[in-house]
Amino acid sequence: MSVLSKLKEAVICLKAGRVTLPYPAQAQPVPEKFRGRPIFDAAKCTGCGGCANNCPAREILLFDLCQEIRILQYLGRRCAYCGRCADVCPEKAITMSHEFETGTNSIGDIQQRVELFMSTCQRCGRCFKEPSTLEQLKLKGYRVDDVAHERWVFRSKSYLETEPVVDDIKIEMD
Amino acid sequence: MLKNLCQKMFGRSLWVYHANSGGCNGCDIEVLNVLTPYYDVERFGIKLVGSPRHADVMLCQGPAMRSTAQALKRAYDAMPAPKLVFAIGSCACGGGIWFDSYSVLGPVEKVVPVNFYIPGCPPRPEAIIYGVAVAVGLVDKKTAPVKFKQIEMPIPRYHPQDLSGRDELVVYEKVEKV
């Protein structure tokens, strides 16, 4: 009886065949709705900053060098690939690609940086329609995120203070 | 250089220790998925061990948190000398969605030095295998930082001083791009 059961096991194993994927040599196609790394199309981007205001991980930074040059930087370190930036983009400049092979030895490799010329209205100096009262709390004047230290700066307090509010925790290890 | 060192020292067989310092268990499931026969990672000689003292590689998942930073540091110190640390998932790479919470210190590189990053929330099992294959030297990394700079202003700039009146006609002389 035990020999029979062993034979049965062998038959089951042979029927299954080889299931292991030959992965790094030959990649398998990803599912259709898979969201990978977001790709920023600089030719379509108008620099409205909707993606930066909607990113839950605060990984898209905006920095206005002057009235006309705006830097948009995607850091991607803690990006959860939720796709909210691609949803909110009015020009469809952000696409969630199927790219997932992003393993690197330096975290700066997944950065994307776009420097744009912003053209403003000659009469009023603004680009877009007047924001609502809720949006006015967030969007007044320039965005000055800390590009040098790669951190998102809250508009409310940290702009006025010299000490950064975000990311200021020091670890004390013995 | 790190790649050559890795190939020489480890002999292409990594014993991994799996440390979760406060993640949501998503990356754990993906790492265990890597060890199943479907993505059989023992082809590369990778084996999961239970103690950091037996390990070459620590797979870090989850951000460094106030309560687990000390334990993570002690697990790292317990590993024998040629050691690598992989940060798996966006929590370990950058702090995760709750990066500004009071209990989250930030990415694990604040506590232990990280050699390889595999972002994703969670990363696909293939992405984890790819990161390990980059570390072992089987494949080259695909990512590079992208920079785009608009050199020309898309609309010609308007200078009022360049306007000149020529008999009943106002002519704008310079049409230059910035």
Residue B174 in this model has a pLDDT that exceeds 90: no
Highest mean pLDDT among A116-120, B1-5, B108-112, B148-152: B108-112
Tell me if A79 is assigned to some domain: yes
Mean pLDDT, chain A, as a whole number? 77
| Partner-chain residue, chosen from A20, A75, A100, that has the shortest CB–CB distance to B38 | A20
Q: Which CATH code is given to the segment(s) B2-136? A: 3.40.50.12280
Calculate what percentage of chain A has a pLDDT beyond 70.
71
CB contact under 8 A, A171 and B64: yes
C-alpha–C-alpha distance, residues B93 and B106, integer Å:
9
C-alpha–C-alpha distance, residues B134 and B168, integer Å:
71
Q: What average pLDDT does range B107-134 have in this prediction?
A: 90
Say what the pLDDT of residue A157 is: 47
A76: nearest Cα among A48, A41, A104? A104
At B151, the pLDDT band (50, 70, 90 cuts) reads confident
Residue A85 in this model has a pLDDT that exceeds 50: yes
Asked if residue B28 lies in contact with residue B34, where contact means CB atoms within 8 angstroms, the answer is no
Higher per-residue confidence, A133 vs A94: A94
At B74, the pLDDT band (50, 70, 90 cuts) reads very high
Chain B, nearest residue to A38 by Cα:
B120
Distance between B152 CA and the closest CA of chain A, angstroms = 8
Say what the pLDDT of residue B178 is: 42
Give first-to-last CA distance, chain A, whole Å: 63
Say what the pLDDT of residue A174 is: 47
Distance between A164 CA and the closest CA of chain B, angstroms = 12
Residue A11's Cβ-count burial label (10 Å; 0-12, 13-18, 19+) is exposed
Q: What average pLDDT does range A57-80 have in this prediction?
A: 86
Asked if residue B168 lies in contact with residue B148, where contact means CB atoms within 8 angstroms, the answer is no
Q: What average pLDDT does range A158-165 have in this prediction?
A: 49
Q: What average pLDDT does range B99-125 have in this prediction?
A: 90
C-alpha–C-alpha distance, residues B98 and B84, integer Å:
26
| Partner-chain residue, chosen from A20, A42, A101, that has the shortest CB–CB distance to B127 | A101
Domain at A41, CATH number:
3.30.70.3270
Say what the pLDDT of residue B87 is: 93
pLDDT in tens, A37-56: 999 988 888 888 888 888 88
Q: Is the pTM of this model over 0.80?
A: no
Q: Is the N-terminal amide bond of B122 cis, ω within 30° of 0? A: yes
C-alpha–C-alpha distance, residues B71 and B10, integer Å:
25
Asked if residue A165 lies in contact with residue A149, where contact means CB atoms within 8 angstroms, the answer is no
What are the phi and psi torsion angles at B48 (to 5°)?
-85, 125
Higher per-residue confidence, B36 vs A65: B36
Q: Which domain holds residue A88?
A: 31-138
Q: How many distinct structural domains can be found in chain A?
A: 1
The answer for B 105-164 residues in CB contact with A (under 8 A) is 105-107, 109-111, 115-121, 123-124, 126-135, 138-139, 141-150, 152-155, 158
Selected for mutation to probe chain B from A54, A65, A96, A102 (highest B CB count within 10 Å) is: A102
Residue A160 in this model has a pLDDT that exceeds 90: no
Residue B53 in tokens:
């003292």
Determine how many CB atoms are found less than 10 A away from the CB of residue A47: 23
C-alpha–C-alpha distance, residues B107 and B94, integer Å:
5
Residue A162 in this model has a pLDDT that exceeds 90: no
Say what the pLDDT of residue B52 is: 92
Q: Is beta strand B84-88 parallel, antiparallel or unpaired with respect to B116-118? A: parallel
User: How many residue contacts between A and B have a Cβ separation below 8 Å?
Assistant: 160
Distance between A138 CA and the closest CA of chain B, angstroms = 18
Residue A156's Cβ-count burial label (10 Å; 0-12, 13-18, 19+) is exposed
Say what the pLDDT of residue B63 is: 92
At B175, the pLDDT band (50, 70, 90 cuts) reads low
Q: Is B70 on the interface with A (CB under 8 A)?
A: yes
